[in-house]
Amino acid sequence: MKKQYEHYNQKYGLNDLLVNGVLYINLHYNATGYPFMGENTFRRGSVMVKDENFFPVELKYDIVDQQLVLKVINSFGGQSNIILRRDFVHQFTLEGGYTFEWLDNDELSASFYQVVGKKGFRWLIKYTKYLEVPQGTQANHFAYTKVYRKYYFERHGKVFNIRNRKSIWKYFPEKKKELKKYFRAHRGSLSAISNEDFNNLLKILKDA
């Protein structure tokens, strides 16, 4: 922990811009599962706070409440988990090739979205979990659901809701043959698509 603190302090010190938020407290520690994307562990990444980029940092992405939790090591070697101010965070990344942006407009509900591609021609993926009482259990027993993903495609300033493969064919009819061929060879459904697949699909659609 001491080495972690020395590295963290040398890199950022008590940066008021980065370490600016409230202490994260798990109010549902007895619930089954956890509210985070991926495993219940901090992941290496970066975060854009206002116009300043901080890297490397260790983050957890809470997809229930759409908030970002930062691990901070103090001078005593102890750890604090801070919820970063949502109005300050514009973008962040997580290891594994994930980039997220906070989006809020007439076509998208306010949330972080994974972005694949460049603005104006890109995939937008929203990750969500829910905290609920499973059927057949006691009323005070909570559990987090599986991860749900919603897919959108941004093109020329418009955002299209992509519910399934047929939605893509609908918006890109001239690419239907190539798209069907790709899905047959690689993945059967949108839920099985990887970041690499999203990039490959962009290459197919780029001249549509």
Q: How much of the chain exceeds pLDDT 90, in percent?
A: 69
Round to whole Å and give the CA distance between 3 and 104: 39
Contact 149, 124 (CB under 8 A): no
If pLDDT is split at 50, 70 and 90, which confidence band does 184 have? confident
Q: Is the pLDDT confidence value at 2 over 80?
A: no
Average pLDDT score, the chain:
89
Across 39-43, 121-125, 162-166, least confident range: 162-166
Encode pLDDT of 58-102 as tens digits: 999 999 999 999 999 877 778 999 999 999 999 999 999 999 999
- Structure confidence at residue 67 (pLDDT): 96
If pLDDT is split at 50, 70 and 90, which confidence band does 8 have? very low
- Structure confidence at residue 162 (pLDDT): 96
- Structure confidence at residue 140 (pLDDT): 77
Largest CA distance in the chain: 61
Measured CA distances, 119 to 82, 116, 156 (Å):
30, 9, 9
Element (H, E) at 57: strand 52-62
Q: Is the pLDDT confidence value at 5 over 60?
A: no
Length of the chain (residues) = 208
Exposure string for 19-30, b = 16+ CB within 10 A, e = fewer: bebeebeeeeee
If pLDDT is split at 50, 70 and 90, which confidence band does 187 have? low
Q: Is the pLDDT confidence value at 103 over 50?
A: yes
Residue 33, burial from CB neighbour count under 10 angstroms (0-12, 13-18, 19+): middle
Residue spans per domain, the chain: 2-162
Encode pLDDT of 110-125 as tens digits: 999 999 999 999 999 9
Q: Is the pLDDT confidence value at 1 over 60?
A: no
Q: Is the pLDDT confidence value at 35 over 50?
A: yes
**Tokens, residue 134:** 């499973």
Contact 94, 114 (CB under 8 A): no
